[in-house]
């Protein structure tokens, strides 16, 4: 029993040491956030059928979005047909936090200042092989905006870092300890000004920072969550909960 206890203490100590090694952003401030999805209803949110991801339904539906176990759960409603679910409210300069527990396979995204057509600055949630988390993408915007510092390989536990505006803060060997597939992980984004400065975090570690060079989009828009079109993802799901926002 004594040997088992010592071994267990070593495991716990190693886990704590790994967690302590992750470069958590000390400047993050959790005060002043307002919950805009409380897990009890989808009040304050609506589905758009106007994006290019809803073409399979001839823009008659925007994917399937339901409330389940306190989370917004999304999937394609028919093979190839996705879309976005948006806040009714519009936001300008803000910081948003969401908890995410998606299946590995569907392509998703957290949209900042989105319109009904899904044009937005996107926090990438491309949770699949060759995909990325926390990169910044210009969804339907000019300029070819696409910044990411790692790619998934052939498994959710394997990443490959790449040159980018911000160096990937997590080494590939440490990724399985940092990112917990099948559990809730925290995604966070901040957008300020126009042209905007956009910053992204995963589990309180800063991943990307990008400042645009010109005004390409409106000053305000909705916060949106996406299910990508294409393929057949009617039986795989994206899950988001505890959506919180703070105006800046």
Indicate if the pLDDT at residue 42 is higher than 60.
yes
Which range among 36-40, 75-79, 187-191 shows the weakest confidence by mean pLDDT? 36-40
Assigned CATH class of 25-247:
mainly beta
DSSP 185: E
pLDDT at res. 112: 98
Compute the mean pLDDT over every residue in the chain, rounded to the nearest whole number: 93
Dist CA 145 CA 168 (whole Å): 18
CB 120 within 8 A of CB 218: no
In the predicted structure, residue 7 carries a pLDDT above the cut 80: no
Q: Which residues contact 86 (CB under 8 A, 6 or more apart)?
A: 45, 46, 47, 48, 111, 114, 116, 222, 223, 224
Give the whole-angstrom CA distance, residue 103 versus residue 22.
Answer: 24
Q: Give pLDDT, residue 38.
A: 87
pLDDT value of position 48: 98
Q: Give the residue extent of every domain in the chain.
A: 25-247
pLDDT at 21: 82
Residue 6, pLDDT > 70, answer: no
> pLDDT digits over 116-167, tens only?
999 999 999 999 999 999 999 999 999 999 999 999 999 999 999 999 999 9
User: What percent of the chain lies above the pLDDT cut of 70?
Assistant: 92
pTM strictly above 0.85: yes
Does residue 10 or residue 156 have the better pLDDT?
156
- The whole-number pLDDT of residue 3 equals 44
Q: Band of the pLDDT at 18, cuts 50, 70, 90?
A: very low
């Amino acid at each position: 029993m004594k040997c088992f206890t010592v071994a267990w203490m070593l495991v716990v100590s190693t886990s704590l040491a790994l967690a302590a090694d992750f470069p958590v952003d000390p400047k993050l401030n959790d005060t002043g956030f307002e919950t805009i999805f409380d897990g009890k209803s989808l009040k304050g949110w609506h589905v758009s059928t106007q994006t290019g991801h809803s073409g399979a339904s001839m823009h008659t539906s925007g994917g399937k979005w339901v409330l389940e176990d306190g989370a917004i759960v999304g999937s394609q409603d028919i093979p190839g047909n996705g879309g976005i679910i948006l806040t009714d409210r519009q936001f300008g300069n803000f910081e948003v936090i969401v908890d995410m527990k998606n299946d590995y396979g569907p392509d998703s995204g957290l949209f900042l200042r989105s319109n009904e057509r899904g044009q937005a600055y996107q926090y990438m949630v491309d949770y699949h092989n060759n995909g990325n988390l926390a990169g910044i993408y210009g969804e339907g915007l000019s300029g070819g905006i696409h910044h990411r510092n790692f790619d998934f390989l052939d498994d959710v536990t394997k990443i490959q870092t790449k040159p980018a505006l911000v160096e990937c803060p997590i080494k590939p060997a440490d990724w399985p300890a940092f990112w917990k597939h099948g559990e809730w992980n925290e995604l966070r984004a901040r957008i300020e000004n126009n042209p905007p400065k956009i910053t992204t975090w995963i589990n309180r570690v800063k991943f990307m920072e990008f400042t645009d060079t010109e005004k390409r989009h409106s000053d305000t828009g909705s916060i949106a969550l996406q299910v990508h079109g294409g393929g057949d993802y009617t039986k795989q799901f994206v899950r988001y909960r505890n959506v919180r926002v703070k105006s800046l």
